Amino acid sequence: QKEVEQDPGPLSVPEGAIVSLNCTYSNSAFQYFMWYRQYSRKGPELLMYTYSSGNKEDGRFTAQVDKSSKYISLFIRDSQPSDSATYLCAMNENTGGFKTIFGAGTRLFVKA
Amino acid sequence: GAVVSQHPSRVICKSGTSVKIECRSLDFQATTMFWYRQFPKKSLMLMATSNEGSKATYEQGVEKDKFLINHASLTLSTLTVTSAHPEDSSFYICSASYRNNEQFFGPGTRLTVL
């Protein structure tokens, strides 16, 4: 079993839809959870960053962490064609010599 | 803030030559820099972690003599692919961190070995 599981998609939605992206993980020691957006042939860009369980909202983006279920989500409201990209979840334990584990990434297409 | 640059953005070289890729943190001092490799439609594969002034820590299966990493300052790390072969063709991405959890990525370097 991989430490982090993420459906690679592709996920195709119409413009304006609410998008739900998810990751599950197996390591209960993970404390920091991140979502990155990567456009084709570009480096990943940090979108959201949360610590432990709970929700965090930033504009059209909401990140949720459910540590009891080992499940994290990223919601995108009012999706736009410019949101079309690959979204990678990432997490780490924040111990000395921390190592961030990335999901495989979900490819999202938002159709105009 | 937290901008990371990479140079070159794209390089084509002949088999057997060496290629150096630079990674710079432009507006912060990076305590740690990471080098990743990414194949098409695949996630990031961590190659090595480097801290300024010390030897890089390589992931299992990554040849340290082939992928030389130098982290000479808090704002610069270099990856040299030595004696490159076509199978080394890939997208190489660096990231930099100044606190334990967030990594800021460079734009990536596409290496093509002929």
CA dihedral B82→B85→B88→B94, nearest 10 degrees, is 30
pLDDT for residue A41: 84
pLDDT for residue B97: 87
CA-CA distance, B109 to B93, in Å (whole number)?
6
If you average pLDDT over residues B38-60, what whole number do you get? 87
pLDDT for residue B39: 85
> Please, what is the average pLDDT of chain B?
91
pLDDT for residue A100: 86
pLDDT for residue B31: 84
| Pairing outcome for strands B76-81 and B90-97 | unpaired
Per-residue pLDDT tens over the stretch A97-108: 567 889 999 999
pLDDT for residue A96: 57
If you average pLDDT over residues B35-41, what whole number do you get? 88
- Check if A26 contacts B (Cβ < 8 Å): no
Portion of chain A with pLDDT greater than 70, in percent: 95
Q: Which of A42, A88, A105 sits opposite B108 (nearest CB)?
A: A42
pLDDT for residue A88: 95
Does B79 have pLDDT greater than 80? yes
Choose the mutation target among A33, A38, A47, A88 for the interface with B, i.e. most B CBs under 10 Å: A38
- In B, minimum Cα distance to A44 occurs at B105
- C-alpha separations of B37 from A12, A26, A70, A89 in Å: 27, 24, 27, 17
- In B, minimum Cα distance to A32 occurs at B101
- Check if B28 contacts A (Cβ < 8 Å): no
Kindly give, in sequence order, each residue whose CB lies less than 8 Å from that of residue B61, ignoring residues fewer than 6 positions away: none
Does A2 have pLDDT greater than 80? no
In this structure, of A4-8, B13-17, B48-52, B101-105, the range with the lowest mean pLDDT score is: B101-105
Portion of chain B with pLDDT greater than 90, in percent: 70
Beta carbons of B104 and A46 less than 8 Å apart: yes
Q: Which of B23, B42, B14 is nearest to B111 (CA)?
A: B14
Beta carbons of B101 and A34 less than 8 Å apart: yes
Does B99 have pLDDT greater than 80? no
Per-residue pLDDT tens over the stretch A42-87: 899 999 988 888 899 999 999 999 999 999 999 999 999 999 999 9
Per-residue pLDDT tens over the stretch B7-27: 999 999 999 999 999 999 999
Tokens 């734009």 locate to B107
Q: Which of B92, B87, B111 is nearest to B35 (CA)?
A: B92
Kindly give, in sequence order, each residue whose CB lies less than 8 Å from that of residue B10, ignoring residues fewer than 6 positions away: B109, B110, B112
Per-residue pLDDT tens over the stretch A6-17: 988 899 999 999
Exposed e or buried b for every residue in B2-14, given b needs 16+ CB within 10 A?
A: bebebeeeebebe
- In B, minimum Cα distance to A100 occurs at B101
